[in-house]
Structures are given as structure tokens and as C-alpha cells.
Structure 1
Amino acid sequence: MKYIVVCLALFSFAGLFSQDGTGKILPKEIQIKTAILPVPKGSSTDTMVYGYNENGGLVVLREGTSNMVCLADDPNKEGISVSCYSKKLEPFMKRGRELRSQGKDVMEIREIRGNEISQGTLDMPREPSMMYVYYGTDADYDATTGELANGQFRYVIYIPYATTESTGLPDKPHAKGMPWLMDPGTHRAHIMVGPN
């Protein structure tokens, strides 16, 4: 009976590391190579990169001096998604990660960060700040090289407290790939530009 239980446990554990790479922690160099895919050409060599250690914890894989911070793909989520954002957004992003690690849900995180920004205890840039997201499927990802074929970009420009009136942007896209304003009037207001 013990043998059967051990076998079942091993099969369950093996399922965490499926062939498509989900759940597998990739080597540091591969994580970095994939994480910086969204960075505009010529500015990726000194970009700070967060990724995952062998225990699955989020850590700094590479320090950087540029004005960008990149996040490696989360190995526990389906598909490939990496993002790079303005270093000015780091306090806001870091606080979100802290609250998530405490078990807070999306709405709680929004409320807490919003309150902290309005109280002046959490920095959020008032000028527009850029985030680049590059994503695709596990089937199109080569975990040995860090390359993603057929990836798509989504651009996010944080512009806190902007409204549809102040920007002239709609709050929903009217055509594929057009810019629109999400969460208007809030600390999270941002211009979304989806894939074409």
C-alpha cells in the first residue's frame, strides 16, 4: 500500500513539471533572456530582472542601472507572459507583490494601494509611465533558448487619475488594437494598447 501511495505522489509531483514547462523553474540565463524580450532594442543589457529561484520564490536575477524593470514568466501560470516597466513604477508594483504574498485578492490590493497613494505613503508617478507586456503560448516557447515565436505586445501607459474627458480616449476599445483608457479617474488609470 505504501508503494502505491508513493507512486501516486510521484506522479502528482511530476504533473507539476509538465512537458510544456508549466511549473518548471528555468535556468537564470533563460529567464533573463525571455524577461527582456519586451525591452526596446538597445536598452536591455543593463535592465533589472526579477525571476524565480529553485524554490519558486521571486528574486532579483540581475541588478540593473537602466530606467526599466523586467519580470520573468511565472512558471506556475499557463502560457508565457513577461513584462517590463518604468523604474518609477517599481514602488507601486513591489507593493502589489507584497500584498499578493500576504494573500490579499485583487480588489483588496487595489483598495490598499489606492489609499496609500492618496495618503502619500506609496509613491506613484504622476507623469505617464510605460509598461511593455509580451506574451504567447507554451507551444510557441523554446525553453532551451528563451525565444518566443508568434508573441504579441500589449502596451500599458499608466497615467494616474486621467479621465476620458482629460484624454479624449474612450473607456472601451472601438476597434482591435486601438488605445483606450482603463480604470479612468483612479490611481490605476492607464492607457491600454492591445495587439493588432
Structure 2
Amino acid sequence: MKQLIIAIALSGVLVSCNSSGKNKKETDASSATETVTDSTTTKTNYVAIDTEEALIATSLMAAPAASRDGCTVIGYNSEGEFVTYKEGNNEFIVLADDPNNQGFSAACYHKSMEPFMARGRELRAEGKTGPEIFDIREEEAKSGKLDMGKPGATLHIYYGPKDTYDPETHKVEGAKYRYVVYLPFATAESTGLPENPVSPNHPWIMNPGTHRAHIMISPLADEKE
């Protein structure tokens, strides 16, 4: 009789263990399903930058976050006209992405650089080539005719190969940042910087010894790359 009672008790324990194991598997499977569902629902839905509001919002991503509300925004519209999209009240000017060009490229620069930037736009409108624009501004900067802005003025570039964005965050799909610090007529010797990039995100000096000398800081490559 005692042996029969022990056998029944052991049988109950085994059934309980099997049931518990089954429940755990069901719970794990349920969790896995929830994880898959969550990853699917959180996928970003990028849309085309097809309104003026979207163009301004995405272009402002080139500016430091704390300063975006006060930036002036200028640029070419879809008709090719150069317009002021937004009047600002701080030290930054944002050059909006050109909707007629593929991909995305917006820039934010210190307002002291506007004479230099505006002169470039003027010369391009006259049909001058890149090398011609460089030579003209070089001569004008050396003579003092062209104001190059404050030494150390920075240009922020937000760019990428696509022209779709997240309407909630205004981030452009695949876009990255590059920073340019202008130091007219600086050299490798005066700054201690190399004249060629050493590695991603490493500063180097471009166009040394000229009016357009500037420190380049390129983005780190994506981990998936």
C-alpha cells in the first residue's frame, strides 16, 4: 500500500514538471512573437520631401539642434529661383536642399560667411566654372575686397543619397554630417594638421595656404559598412 502511494505521488510530480515545461515553451514562443511584432511596428516609414514645410524642416537638421528655431533659411525652390524660406534672428544661415538635385544636401553656416557664400552663388549664376570661381575669390580675398568672415567660422553639412525623410523626427534617410571650419590662408604648419585625411572622423586641412583653407571633419563610416 505504501509503495502504491509513493508511485502515485511520483506520477503527479512528473505530470507537473511536464506541464511546467510546456508552459515555459509557450511563454517563450509568445515572447518571440511579441518581439517580432514590436520590431515590425517600429520600422520607420520614410516619405518623400515634397512640400516646402518638409524641405525647411529637413534642411534645418543641418543646424545645431538648440539653434534651429532662430535660423534664416534660404535656397533654390523647385522653379530654380533663389528665395528666403524663413527669416531668422540668430548667427546661423541654412542653405536648403535643392529640390531639383538628386539626393539631399543642406548646409548651415555662420552668418559672417555670407559674403563669401553669396559671391560664389553670384559667380555660378554668371556661368563661371569651379576653378574660375576659386581664382576670382582668391584674388578678391587677398586684396581685401571679399570678406571671408570670422576665422574659425563653421559650416555644417547634412547630406545623403536619398530624398526621403521621417515626418516625426525630420531626419533624412541615410543622411550624415560633415563639418568644415574655415581658416583662410592657414597651412599644415600653422595648424599642425595633415593635408590629407588619415581616417574617418579625423580632421585634416584642405586647400592650405589659400583663401579657402579649411579644416575637414568627415563622418565615421556606418558599422554595417
Both structures adopt the same fold (TM-score exceeding 0.5): yes
Residue-pair matches, total: 173
Structure 1 regions of 5+ residues with no counterpart?
1-19
1:41 aligns with 2:65: yes
Find 1:78's aligned residue among 72, 92, 102: 102
Measured in 2, the distance between the counterparts of 1:195 and 1:154 equals: 6
Equivalent residue for 1:31?
55
1:142 aligns with 2:165: yes
1:31, CA displacement in angstroms?
1.6
Would you tell me which structure has more helix in proportion to its own residues?
A: 2
Equivalent residue for 1:109?
133
Structure 2 length as normaliser, TM-score? Answer: 0.72
Measured in 2, the distance between the counterparts of 1:143 and 1:177 equals: 26
Task: Tell me if the contact between 2:162 and 2:174 (Cα under 8 Å) persists in the aligned partners.
Answer: no
Structure 1 window deviating more from structure 2 (28-37 vs 160-169): it is 28-37
Matched AA of 1:142: Y
1:189, CA displacement in angstroms?
0.1
Find 1:179's aligned residue among 199, 203, 209: 203
Equivalent residue for 1:122?
146
User: Structure 1 segments of 4 or more deviating over 3 A?
Assistant: 143-147
Measured in 1, the distance between the counterparts of 2:102 and 2:157 equals: 15
- Map Cα deviations across residues 133-162 of structure 1 (whole Å, 9 max, x no partner): 0111226x2386753133211000000010
1:26, CA displacement in angstroms?
3.9
Measured in 2, the distance between the counterparts of 1:86 and 1:126 equals: 9
Task: Tell me if the contact between 1:117 and 1:187 (Cα under 8 Å) persists in the aligned partners.
Answer: yes
Task: Tell me if the contact between 1:30 and 1:143 (Cα under 8 Å) persists in the aligned partners.
Answer: no
Measured in 2, the distance between the counterparts of 1:154 and 1:53 equals: 24
**Cα root mean square deviation, aligned:** 1.9
Equivalent residue for 1:153?
177
Equivalent residue for 1:163?
187
Structure 2 regions of 5+ residues with no counterpart?
1-46, 221-225
Measured in 1, the distance between the counterparts of 2:72 and 2:132 equals: 28
Equivalent residue for 2:217?
193
Structure 1 length as normaliser, TM-score? Answer: 0.82
Equivalent residue for 1:11?
none
1:51, CA displacement in angstroms?
2.7
